[in-house]
């Protein structure tokens, strides 16, 4: 959240609140201090609309009218920096305006940061699962509502953040679009506290990291998957996957936590749906019978 420039006392106070909110000062992790204990310190993590979830295709409501997400500026090279925050490799946008809108999103959202979740082996790593299937890595691109005064306010609004997620699959060949990132990982092996330890990345377009023309996604309402677990996130989990080679993934597994252990398996287990409905902008069953044609009360509840 280093984008915020405190200008007034009010802004400073807000900044202090955000620090608490995003728990930069309170320790949490994925091992002894793991997800089952988060709610002891961060009560929102024990609420009922949490992320990630297991997406079950047979229970997804396909809705043609959701349409495509419009990605603005994803094709333009921008300035970014990367750091090991002890929980993930996090990339912040330092200059460049990248937005998403449409696709059933309740507004226009600006890209703030992206980060990764991965496993110690290829059988796990993703946060979301699809029909119970886990993937070796998942990337999250976190956007905040542009009509919010700032990121801090967005964290307090329903739908204040829009996160898009992509799963990875292992490919024979390297995915060279990731060279800009992976070549910097050896410089952030160890966790260092503070934004000043960020390493600049060579400029590239965010879209280069993604599959070509990604357009099929699942949609549901949930939370941040890390403390403080605020239930303010519109999730779009894409069907199209990103290639990464075993060698490239092994570079992520070399990063270390604040305790000096391996930073891997940094994913939260799936959380109960508790009656939430998962929608999709594509026909999951791959037939012409759009489920939206049927009457369904539970679906409308989500709108």
Ligand X SMILES: *[C@@H]1O[C@H](CO)[C@@H](O)[C@H](O)[C@H]1NC(C)=O
Region for residue 96 given its phi and psi (left: phi exceeds 0; alpha: psi -120 to 50; beta: otherwise): left
Of the candidate residues 19, 150, 243, 265, the single one contacting ligand X (CB under 6 A): 243
Out of 19, 39, 57, 68, which residue is the one contacting ligand X (CB under 6 A)? 68
- From the list 87, 115, 117, 128, the catalytic residue is 87
75 binds ligand X (CB under 6 A): no
87 is annotated as an active-site residue: yes
CB-nearer residue toward ligand X: 63 or 110: 63
Nearest approach in angstroms of CB 83 to Zn ion is 15
Min. distance of Cβ 279 from Zn ion in angstroms? 21
Q: Taking CB under 6 A as the rule, which mask of x and - marks residues 209-238 in contact with ligand X?
A: ----x-x-----------------------
Cα end-to-end distance, the chain, whole Å = 29
Q: By the 8 A CB rule, do 15 and 152 touch?
A: yes
Classify 93 as helix, strand or coil: strand
CB within 8 A of 193, min separation 6: which ones?
86, 258
Buried b (16+ CB within 10 A) or exposed e, 265-276: bbbbebbebeeb
Site for ligand X in 96-125 (CB under 6 A): none
Identify whether the C-beta of residue 123 lies closer than 8 Å to the C-beta of residue 115: no
* CB 239 within 8 Å of CB 213: no
Instruction: Rank residues 113 and 281 by Cβ distance to ligand X and give the closer one.
Output: 281
Total length of the chain: 303
Query: Quick one: what does residue 213 bind among ligand X, Zn ion, none, with the CB cut-off 5 to 8 Å set by partner type?
Result: ligand X
Binding string to Zn ion for residues 106 to 145, with x set by CB under 5 A, is what?
----------------------------------x-----
Which of 172, 286, 295, 303 is the binder for ligand X (CB under 6 A)?
Answer: 172
DSSP string, 20-38: HHTTSSS---SSTT-HHHH
Q: Is 67 in the site for ligand X (CB under 6 A)?
A: yes
Q: Which residues bind ligand X (CB under 6 A)?
A: 67-68, 171-172, 213, 215, 243
């Amino acid at each position: 959240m280093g984008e915020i420039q405190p200008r007034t006392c009010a802004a400073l106070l807000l900044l202090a609140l955000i620090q608490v909110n995003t728990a930069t000062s309170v320790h949490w992790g994925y091992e002894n201090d793991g997800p089952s204990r988060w709610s002891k310190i961060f009560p929102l993590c024990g609420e009922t609309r949490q992320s990630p979830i297991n997406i079950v295709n047979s229970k997804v409501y396909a809705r043609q009218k959701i349409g495509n997400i419009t990605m603005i500026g994803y094709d333009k090279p921008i300035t970014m920096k990367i750091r090991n925050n002890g929980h993930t490799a996090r990339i912040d946008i330092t200059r460049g305006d990248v937005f998403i809108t449409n696709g059933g999103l309740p507004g226009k959202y600006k890209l703030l940061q992206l980060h990764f979740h991965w496993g110690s082996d290829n059988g796990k790593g993703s946060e979301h699962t699809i029909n119970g299937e886990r993937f070796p890595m998942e990337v999250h691109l976190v956007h905040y509502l542009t009509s919010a005064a700032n990121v801090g306010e967005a964290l307090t609004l329903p739908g204040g953040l829009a996160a898009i997620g992509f799963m990875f699959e292992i490919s024979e060949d390297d995915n060279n679009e990731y060279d800009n990132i992976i070549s910097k990982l050896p410089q952030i092996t160890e966790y260092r506290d503070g934004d000043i330890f960020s390493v600049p990345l060579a400029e590239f377009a965010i879209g280069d990291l993604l599959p070509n023309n990604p357009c099929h996604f699942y949609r549901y309402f949930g939370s941040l998957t890390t403390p403080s677990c605020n239930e303010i996130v519109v999730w779009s989990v894409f069907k199209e996957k990103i290639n990464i080679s075993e060698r490239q993934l092994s570079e992520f597994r070399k990063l270390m936590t604040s305790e000096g252990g391996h930073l891997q398996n940094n994913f939260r287990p799936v959380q109960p749906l508790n009656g939430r409905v998962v929608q999709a902008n594509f026909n999951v069953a791959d037939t012409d019978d759009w489920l939206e044609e049927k009457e369904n009360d539970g679906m409308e509840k989500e709108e």
